[in-house]
Amino acid sequence: MEELFGASLLSKDGPVPVSTLSQSKYVLVYFSASWCKPCQAFTPMLDMFYDSINSFEKDVEVVYVSRDHTTEEFEEYYGKMPWLAVSYEDCDRRNMLKETFAAKSVPSLYLINTEGVVKKSDCVLDVKNKGPLCINEWNLALVS
């Protein structure tokens, strides 16, 4: 995972080692931006999904990759999110992730395995249309 995200990610309490991702069953990579109207509608849905799935045990972790235009936009938008993020200042890494995941639009949400391989790329639709029930499909995707 360090090849993708570097040594650490941002959390609300400061930097955390990327190795913490291995503690979650489901790791999602979320490309979004504050200026994007569909993102503004989807982020609260993802937040509710995240809270619902993690209500008993931390099963899901999200890594936010910002497509914002300024640090201020990033900080304000990320301030509303409970999950981890790639540092906004690491522009090269954010661009590399955009290319690696072929994230051409926002919002985009990808399920990855412990090696950082994309196992499902249409997770925005899963969260919107199936909510927590999509976990069954994600389990199958992770083992295939």
**Coil vs helix vs strand at 103:** coil
DSSP state of 87: -
Task: Please write down the long-range contacts of 43-46, taking CB distance under 8 Å and 24 or more positions apart.
Answer: 43/77, 43/80, 43/81, 43/107, 45/127, 45/128, 46/109, 46/127
Question: Residue 34's pLDDT is what?
Answer: 97
Cα separation, 16 vs 67, in Å, equals 21
Q: Which of 100, 115, 24 is nearest to 65 (CA)?
A: 100
Cα separation, 87 vs 64, in Å, equals 9
pLDDT, tens digit, 9 for 90 and up, residues 101-141: 999 999 999 999 999 999 999 999 999 999 999 999 999 99
Task: Please say if the pLDDT value at position 144 is more than 90.
Answer: no
Tell me, what CATH number does 46's domain have?
3.40.30.10
Measured in degrees and rounded to the nearest 5, phi and psi for residue 114 equal -65, -15
Number of domains composing the chain: 1
Task: Please say if the pLDDT value at position 17 is more than 90.
Answer: yes
What pTM, to 2 d.p., does this model score? 0.96
Q: What is the domain extent for residue 130?
A: 2-143
pLDDT, tens digit, 9 for 90 and up, residues 27-76: 999 999 999 999 999 999 999 999 999 999 989 999 999 999 999 999 99
Cα separation, 78 vs 34, in Å, equals 9
Question: Residue 47's pLDDT is what?
Answer: 97
**Mean pLDDT on 85-113:** 97
Q: Are 63 and 84 in contact (CB under 8 A)?
A: yes
Question: Residue 119's pLDDT is what?
Answer: 97
